[in-house]
A and B are shown apart, each in its own frame.
Chain A
Amino acid sequence: MASETFVVAYDGTDRTVVDYAARRAEASGAALCLVHVLQWSPYSFLTPQELDERRMRRRQELERAKTALVDPIVAELQASGLTVEGEIRFGSPTTVILEVARDRGACQIFVGRTGKSGIENKIFGSVTLGLAQAATIPTVIVP
């Protein structure tokens, strides 16, 4: 049983942060928790058709994130001998990652430097910056 837990914010594309966190975990004997957040606001506006289809889409989104993004990496890391768990949640990425870290009593967060275009981040702020500002535990930003 691993003594410490590292939370890894995984956006589905950035392998660098996962690999880096995996190396640190291996060195320190920590467990990894891979968090993938599906962007979701309870205050977004939907058409009547989207309302009716929402539950179906939610299932599909979860399924796709699980089979295409999270499960393969979790399996790969587990095969290399690490203790790894994947977690997929809906919500605002920064908030959700902080919640998972708190719930799991994690001691560190690893996050990539986002690959999104600059302008979107300038307007809405990025998950990376959000975590850097709000996290109550050491947060590693992996370039």
Chain B
Amino acid sequence: MRPVSRCLSPLVALALLVGTARAQEEAAAGNTATVDAMVDGIVGPVTKPFVDFIFAAIPGTDLPWIVLWLITAAAIFTVYFGFVQFRMVPHAIQLVRGHYTSPEAAGEVTHFQALATAVSGTVGLGNIAGVAVAVSIGGPGATFWMILSGLLGMASKFTECTLGVKYRTEYDDGRVSGGPMHYLKKGMAEIGHTTLGKVLAVCFAVCCVLASWGGGNMFQANQAHAQLVVITGGEASFLADRGWITGLVMAVVVFLVIVGGIKSIARVTEKLVPFMGILYLGAALIVILANIDQLGTAFAEIFEGAFTGLGVAGGLVGALIQGLRRATFSNEAGIGSAAIAHSAVQTKHPVTEGFVSMLEPFIDTVIICTATALVITISGVLQQDPATGLYVWDEAAGQIATANNLSGVELTSAAFGSRITWFPYVLGVAVVLFAFSTMISWSYYGVKAWCFLFGDTYVSELIYKVLFCLFVVLGAAVSLGAVLDFSDASLFAMGIFNIVGLYFLMPIVKREMTSYMAKLRAGQIPKYAGTSTAAGKA
């Protein structure tokens, strides 16, 4: 704890100073919110054409083609690998527990560590704010589609993470680098599609850089700021309409970590995030258990709403689109990002990390997102017509009517707050930590993609990192609409190129899987007692 308080306290003091000074100055000038409005005015129009393309609906329907693209891929992988996400979970858990890790490998990256890092990169505001968006626009029925997408997405993760390990690059000094850029380039070359592989890799890297600024950064900063405003007094807060203050503070801390190399901050975050995750789930469980009598109704609404919409505009399709879109945004299955984090694991069989990676969408979507959705549904923050049981649609806001027109993280906060009054404060801390760890992870994914494009030099890295910090400020300052759309679009765009590659490379994954399963059945995969006592020989 010591290093962090030492690093943070001057920053907090600085932030408070800047905040107070600026507030006074603005109160005097009477020009509050001009900075935010200006930023919003610039970002919105610039990103719009890109966003419109990614979310273009399939002609004759309301369904964005990109959502169909991702979910179809997940379904194909599910069938192609024989429902691997249901068959291999027990084995994945054994792998994580170290039952198959040789004691000789002590000191190397374990399955547990690769999974933990990948999970803390994905568990973020998508699980808290994104779910609130899905449920408030698509109704509780969106949860059903979210769970379905999480379960299918496990097969996409399996495919990309197996490839991530198989085609990683190992440098002479022992460093490892992996991810879609590597498997698209090397894997495709191996099957004779060198040029296509290179094109896909470059396109993927471009989208990855954009996503690292968008979903992995701006969205996180934006929602962290929103929650900070809630807990510091809502509209009366000195932070209200001053997103740039939150943004600036977060940007400075991120700068210290990624440019200044102050690892202690990142390390402490990495350690706190799992506890925050458990705390968050615990609170959700308490809310659910305290209202256990409503659980049946909530599930009924989730299932009924999945197919009827329960008065939500767009009905079934509205619920489906929101559910699938937010689930994918949260668990990143098929997007390719996880393959970067998973590829450093120490294993003789790449497919083992594929199995382990399947736990990620499960934890992220099937458990955490569902918990959020249940809390929102149970809490009653979404207004229902008592006579018909249908949700009241707020035309102006484009979502189900809520008290005070809440959306995103504020809605989740209100849902928790209606049952545990002090929880919004804890949520505030959790949200900032989640946002921060997701930013650190994505800055790393982004820098990998950036260096793939522009070369692995100090200057090129520095340019990327400085830009990254600027986007933190931007993200906190602009309104949710513009940020959310751009974040989603950039993230989903990664999925376009990644999945094309996955289709080409899936027979390779299948071969790996078949040969591993045969060895496993024949008892040729050595099993050890467990790694808690493991010690590798020097």
A interface residues (Cβ-Cβ under 8 A, vs B): 37-38, 40, 42-59, 61-62, 65-66, 87-92, 95-96, 99
A48 in contact with B341 (CB, 8 Å): yes
Asked, given contacts A42-B101, A89-B537, whether A47 binds B113 with beta carbons under 8 Å apart, the answer is: no
Instruction: Tell me, yes or no, whether B108 is within 8 Å of chain A by CB.
Output: yes
The stretch that binds A, out of B171-179, B398-406, B414-422, is B171-179
Residue of B whose beta carbon sits closest to that of A86: B538
Asked, given contacts A42-B101, A96-B535, whether A47 binds B266 with beta carbons under 8 Å apart, the answer is: yes
B535 in contact with A58 (CB, 8 Å): no
Smallest CB separation, B444 vs chain A (Å): 4
A42 in contact with B266 (CB, 8 Å): no
A52 in contact with B175 (CB, 8 Å): yes
Smallest CB separation, B333 vs chain A (Å): 18
A91 in contact with B444 (CB, 8 Å): no
A95 in contact with B346 (CB, 8 Å): no
Asked, given contacts A45-B120, A47-B266, whether A62 binds B113 with beta carbons under 8 Å apart, the answer is: no
A42 in contact with B110 (CB, 8 Å): yes
Instruction: Summarize A's interface: helix, strand, loop or mixed.
Output: helix
Give the chain B neighbours of A59 by CB distance below 8 A: 174
Instruction: Tell me, yes or no, whether B112 is within 8 Å of chain A by CB.
Output: yes
Instruction: Tell me, yes or no, whether B511 is within 8 Å of chain A by CB.
Output: no
Q: What mask results when residues 232 to 272 of chain B are scored 1 for a CB within 8 Å of chain A, else 0?
A: 00000000000000000000000000000001001100110
Assembled-state Cα–Cα distance A92/B536 (Å): 11
Asked, given contacts A47-B441, A90-B535, whether A52 binds B113 with beta carbons under 8 Å apart, the answer is: no
Assembled-state Cα–Cα distance A20/B344 (Å): 43
Instruction: Tell me, yes or no, whether B524 is within 8 Å of chain A by CB.
Output: no
By CB atoms of chain B within 10 A, which of A50, A56, A61 has the most?
Answer: A50
Residue from the list A42, A52, A53, A58 in contact with B531, Cβ < 8 A: A42
Assembled-state Cα–Cα distance A54/B113 (Å): 11
In this complex, the interface size class of chain B, counting residues with CB under 8 Å from chain A, is: 35 or more
A56 in contact with B440 (CB, 8 Å): no
A55 in contact with B106 (CB, 8 Å): no
Could you pull out 12 A-B pairs where Cβ atoms are within 8 angstroms? Answer: A42-B532, A42-B534, A45-B117, A47-B440, A48-B340, A50-B263, A51-B341, A52-B176, A56-B175, A62-B107, A91-B533, A91-B534
Instruction: Tell me, yes or no, whether B445 is within 8 Å of chain A by CB.
Output: yes
By CB atoms of chain B within 10 A, which of A37, A47, A55, A87 has the most?
Answer: A47
Smallest CB separation, B461 vs chain A (Å): 12
Residue from the list A49, A56, A99 in contact with B173, Cβ < 8 A: A56
Residue of B whose beta carbon sits closest to that of A95: B533
Give the chain A neighbours of B109 by CB distance below 8 A: 46, 51, 54-55
Asked, given contacts A52-B175, A56-B174, A56-B175, whether A95 binds B531 with beta carbons under 8 Å apart, the answer is: no
B534 in contact with A55 (CB, 8 Å): no
A66 in contact with B538 (CB, 8 Å): yes
By CB atoms of chain A within 10 A, which of B113, B116, B346 has the most?
Answer: B113
By CB atoms of chain A within 10 A, which of B173, B174, B266, B537 has the most?
Answer: B174
Assembled-state Cα–Cα distance A46/B340 (Å): 14
